[in-house]
Amino acid sequence: MVCFTAILKKKKFGFSTPFISFHSFKTGPPCIFYTNKGIKFINVISQKNKNIFISCHPFPVSNCLITKTPLNLLSIMEFKLIIKKINNTLNQEEEQRFQSWYQESEKHRAYFSQVKENYGQYPDGVDFKRGWEQLGTDYSPTVKTRSFWKYSAAAAVVLLLISLAFFNKNTSTTPAETPTVTEVTPVIIGTDKAILTLDNGEQIVLEKGNSFKAPAVSSNGEALIYKGQNTSDNNKVAYNTVTVPRGGQFFITLSDGTKVWLNSDSQLRYPVNFTDNAPREVSLLYGEAYFEVSPSTAHNGAHFMVATKTQEVEVLGTQFNIRAYKEDTHIATTLVEGKVMVNNGLSTNNLKPGQQATLEATTNQFSVKEVDVNNEISWKNGFFSFKEKPLKEILQVLSRWYDVDFIIENNEAARVPFNGVFNKKQALENILSIIENTNEAKFKTVGKTIVLQ
């Protein structure tokens, strides 16, 4: 459905502008955030550069977000003319201005038809008049437009940025710039894939369409599932290793029921079966992994241990994330729920939910801080979520998922912090285009190498 919703002013997130909701989907509930003070906000319309900023999705209202991705389609005044035309409230001067806009291009006429067709499908009780009156006031953003978008506190769950490619392609009078391409090489979106190395050294490719079955483990190509059984102390423990390449991700259920999500460019070593009455220990050799650990109470009190190259994490039964990429100068352990203890051989730290322990390689010292866990673990749910993240670090994440290399020529742009959420199933060129629309960075693509200019 398509709906327009007049919204009150909101300053909490750095804006002094009124907000309006625009829903561009044929199905799904309206993208509106309600509070005890009435409808608040979803999308931002700004007079700056005459851009209109839109974001919506067909999911529950708790997942709504605000975007600052510019849609160079029409000014606020033109937008108001469209609504007044539909409501037959244009005066003579406004009618002339509308006709001028309407006759200007086929894209304008198609856009007007789309809005008119769906305009009536808005929720009851929406105060359009009040919203339009506020749109007539003089306002401007109070924060620099380097963010892709701002999202509400109600969106502190898994978020989704819906691409505006349809509007930019089909209705924009000045389409958004895209990265300059001098040599076209398709960039493949990441997918479920990994290499399983058995205890005897045999390697098995795990990917969609390749099934695998053995006495203790099976795979449909998209996940690896081990059977629940332990070994006695007298039996030799066999180890398997799963390696996820750049451009991949993979899910594993260990023999004790622990669930592991492996991110791109990651490697995990673990026993095929855990030993009775002994700690359940696995090794994250490098990369990033999210763990949902089977409780110790279900395994005679046996703790779960995750070892990296410079630290150990002891778990009682919990959910947490470890990021330990080879190129990183630190290891970050984020606790989602439960209890974990991180140990580097010199000191230990007990984390509380919502805390992140960072172990610096240069000093071998821990620092602990509160973080937004949704940003830290969004990757396992199909999103990239960034909060005050320097562009250089964002490009590292994109590099691993899309299996491309970035060369940084513009160090100033690389240091600019950004906020935003991307669907991992978006094409890379769409993401780069969105970044370019902030006017903070430009990209040039040559093969599988992308230059930040």
Residue 43: which of 124, 110, 135, 166 has the closest Cα? 135
CA dihedral of residues 445, 451, 452, 453 (deg, nearest 10): -90
Instruction: Check if the beta carbon of residue 239 is closer than 8 Å to that of residue 271.
Output: yes
End-to-end CA distance of the chain: give it in Å, rounded.
Answer: 40
- pLDDT for residue 125: 40
From the centroid of its chain, how far is CA 179? 21
Domain boundaries, the chain: 4-176, 191-378, 382-452
Cα→Cα distances 152→2, 116, 447, Å = 21, 29, 38
Q: How far apart are CA 37 and CA 190, in angstroms?
A: 42
| Structure-block tokens of residue 93 | 């001067």
- pLDDT for residue 188: 82
Concatenating the DSSP letter of every residue in 102-144 gives HHH-HHHHHHHHHHHHHTT---TT--HHHHHHHHTS----SS-
Give the three-class secondary structure for 322: strand
Angle at 28 between CA 23 and CA 34, to 5 degrees: 65
Point out the least confidently predicted range of 26-35, 87-96, 289-298, 399-408: 26-35
- pLDDT for residue 317: 72
CA dihedral of residues 19, 24, 27, 28 (deg, nearest 10): -30
Cα→Cα distances 374→105, 111, 118, Å = 43, 36, 34
Output the average pLDDT for the chain.
Answer: 72
- pLDDT for residue 288: 98
Residue 380: which of 217, 271, 297, 262 has the closest Cα? 262
- Sequence-distant (6+) residues with CB within 8 A of 449 are 404, 405, 406, 407
- pLDDT for residue 183: 43
Angle at 321 between CA 318 and CA 324, to 5 degrees: 140
Q: What are the tens digits of pLDDT across the range 71-81?
A: 333 444 566 78
- Sequence-distant (6+) residues with CB within 8 A of 316 are 295, 296, 303, 304, 338, 339, 340
Residue type at 339?
Answer: K
Q: Which of 49-53, 69-73, 80-84, 346-350 has the highest mean pLDDT?
A: 346-350
Segment 256-267 mean pLDDT = 96
Give the three-class secondary structure for 419: strand
Within 10 A of 321 (CB to CB), how many other CB atoms are there? 21
Q: Which of 176-180, 212-216, 262-266 has the highest mean pLDDT?
A: 262-266
CATH number corresponding to 191-378: 2.60.120.1440
Q: What are the tens digits of pLDDT across the range 8-65?
A: 333 333 333 333 333 333 333 333 332 333 333 333 333 333 333 333 333 333 333 3
Q: How far apart are CA 95 and CA 83, in angstroms?
A: 12
Phi, psi of 97 (to 5 degrees): -65, -40
Segment 269-276 mean pLDDT = 92
Segment 159-167 mean pLDDT = 27
Q: Which fold has domain 382-452?
A: Phage tail protein beta-alpha-beta fold (3.55.50)
More confident call, 111 vs 406: 406
Q: How far apart are CA 30 and CA 8, in angstroms?
A: 17
| Structure-block tokens of residue 91 | 């005066």
Within 10 A of 396 (CB to CB), how many other CB atoms are there? 16
- pLDDT for residue 407: 96
More confident call, 175 vs 424: 424
Segment 317-336 mean pLDDT = 93
Q: What are the tens digits of pLDDT across the range 97-153?
A: 788 778 777 777 877 887 776 655 444 444 444 444 443 443 333 333 344 433 322
Q: How far apart are CA 230 and CA 276, in angstroms?
A: 6
Percent of the chain with pLDDT over 70: 66
| Structure-block tokens of residue 31 | 């993208």
Give a three-class secondary structure readout of 213-230.
Answer: ECCCEEECCCEEEECCCC
Please report where in the chains the tokens 């749910």 appear, as a residue: 381
